Amino acid sequence: MSNLNQALEYAAQNREKLLQEYKEFLAIPSISTLPENRGDVYRAAQWLVSELTRLGMARVDLIETPLHPLVYAEWLGAPGKPTALIYGHYDVQPVDPLHEWHSDPFDPEIRGENIYARGASDMKGGLMAWLKAVEAVRSTGDLPINLKFILEGAEEIGSQHLPEFLENNRDLLKADFVINLDGQIHAPGKPSITYSLRGLAYFEIEVHGPKQDLHSGLFGGSILNPAQALCELIAGMHDADGRVTLPGFYDSVRPLNAEEREMLAHNPQTDAQWLEMCGAPGLWGEKGYTTVERTGARPTLEVNGIVGGFIGEGAKTVLPAKASAKISMRLVADQDAAAIKGQLEEYLRQNAPDTITWSLHEHSHGPSAIMDTHSPQMQATVKAMTDTFGVEPFFRRDGGSVPVVGMMQQTLGIDTIMIGFGLPDDCIHGPNEKQHLPTLLNGLNTCIRMIDYLGDI
């Protein structure tokens, strides 16, 4: 397009405005998992509707679902040019433990080069980069590609109403490729593109013992404590080599071949850096794999939460009636996310003693994804990133799950480009989530260039 330099100049001139609007968006506590924040999630959707309207999209819809609304927008004024479907989410994770935050998670605070707020990195920052790129291009000329937006408010809780919407709106969402804004890069000076994501299956196990909490002195030793039983079940879910023991768990895992292990070995992330970022006493994981492989190319099982009995201050001599755990698995190609529940049920059937009862609830599941690194849109993205950062991005696998990538592939039949400008140490989902501002501004310029280069494919 003729106006690339003017658009980049517009972005440079309007940084303060971008920052103000970003802060405004971050201040909305759009926590999708908490019923008390439902109104805030709705407010975030309305904020996007007015922003997209202001950007001159030809159509902007706020679409109700049984839970949180979807926002759809389109501008199709470039006939014959590619159509990009922009996917993003405007919901965020809960903020607990709140006392570990150094500033209010919904009162964004800039300290040094970072802005601290829940959602700053995951992913209100990425959304802002793309919206402001559209603004920069539109303010200085015409869009050289067609745009559709589908933005959801339930990504952090499993996108449960999105699949049905995709199924029922294949024509509306017809596009040449998806741009998914939920990515990250490796480091401020080391851009990367994620070409593989892990799937997710998230469960809650409840173990029941006595009909109600009992006195642990009077009854202790005569019936099995459900918290002990739950611990034994969880302990048995890994073997001594750090492998998950659910029956059939690894059966369909696509093995890493030598070529891909070689490519992954080029990831500049060192174990020492990783350990420093975690702040744990040491690394751990499945025997026979590197840390990069363990987090990107191998499936895992984690306890996300566990609770049972008396958890207040002090001591209570109780034998609890029940104990429960939230447990989730990260999955890789070609594991079937829907099949994991059966494997977990089978494990519980085989291992739970008959002196307790158990129940299993699936919160959500989503597929893993692998993307084509050689497509023209991927190559346009590589060029936009290279021209912005001054260095070519490397390809990497990500440990997190972006189930919508697999969903788009399965339902709409189109591939995704993952972009994003968060960093691995942004503490997404944890306390003190941050976004590195110089990287976000590079992200804005990358998005402006992408719009340009994608118009040429």
Residue 234 binds to its own copies (criterion: CB under 8 A): yes
- Count residues near its own copies (CB under 8 A): 101
Closest distance between its own copies and the C-beta of residue 137, in Å? 32
Q: How far apart are CA 76 and CA 176, in angstroms?
A: 13
Amino acid at 170: R
Closest distance between its own copies and the C-beta of residue 93, in Å? 6
Closest distance between its own copies and the C-beta of residue 184, in Å? 8
Residues 274-293 that bind its own copies (CB under 8 A): 274-275, 278-286, 291
The single residue among 245, 326, 387, 409 that binds its own copies, judged by CB under 8 A, is: 326
Are 358 and 207 within 8 A, CB to CB?
yes
Residues 237-276 that bind its own copies (CB under 8 A): 237-238, 274-275
Residues 159-188 that bind its own copies (CB under 8 A): none
Which residue, 58, 22, 24, 59, is CA-closest to 43? 24
The single residue among 29, 119, 144, 209 that binds its own copies, judged by CB under 8 A, is: 209
Are 145 and 82 within 8 A, CB to CB?
yes
Closest distance between its own copies and the C-beta of residue 185, in Å? 13
Please, which residue, 292 or 451, has the CB nearer to its own copies? 292
Please, which residue, 145 or 331, has the CB nearer to its own copies? 331
- Which H or E run includes 122? none
Residue 206 binds to its own copies (criterion: CB under 8 A): no
Residue 400 binds to its own copies (criterion: CB under 8 A): yes
Q: How far apart are CA 63 and CA 54, in angstroms?
A: 18
The single residue among 112, 255, 312, 413 that binds its own copies, judged by CB under 8 A, is: 312
Closest distance between its own copies and the C-beta of residue 117, in Å? 16
HSE (CB half, 13 Å, CA atoms) of 263? 15
Strands (E), 35-106: 59-63, 70-75, 83-89
Which residue, 91, 70, 92, is CA-closest to 149? 70
**Peptide bond preceding 334: is omega within 30 degrees of 0, i.e. cis?**
yes
Closest distance between its own copies and the C-beta of residue 36, in Å? 10
Closest distance between its own copies and the C-beta of residue 292, in Å? 9
Q: How far apart are CA 224 and CA 77, in angstroms?
A: 68
Residues 21-60 that bind its own copies (CB under 8 A): 33-35
Which residue, 310, 324, 319, is CA-closest to 357? 324
Q: How far apart are CA 406 and CA 87, in angstroms?
A: 13
Residue 314 binds to its own copies (criterion: CB under 8 A): yes
> x/- string (CB under 8 A) for its own copies, residues 327-366?
-x-x----------------------xxxxx-----xx--
Please, which residue, 51 or 152, has the CB nearer to its own copies? 152
Residue 62 binds to its own copies (criterion: CB under 8 A): no
Q: How far apart are CA 27 and CA 25, in angstroms?
A: 5
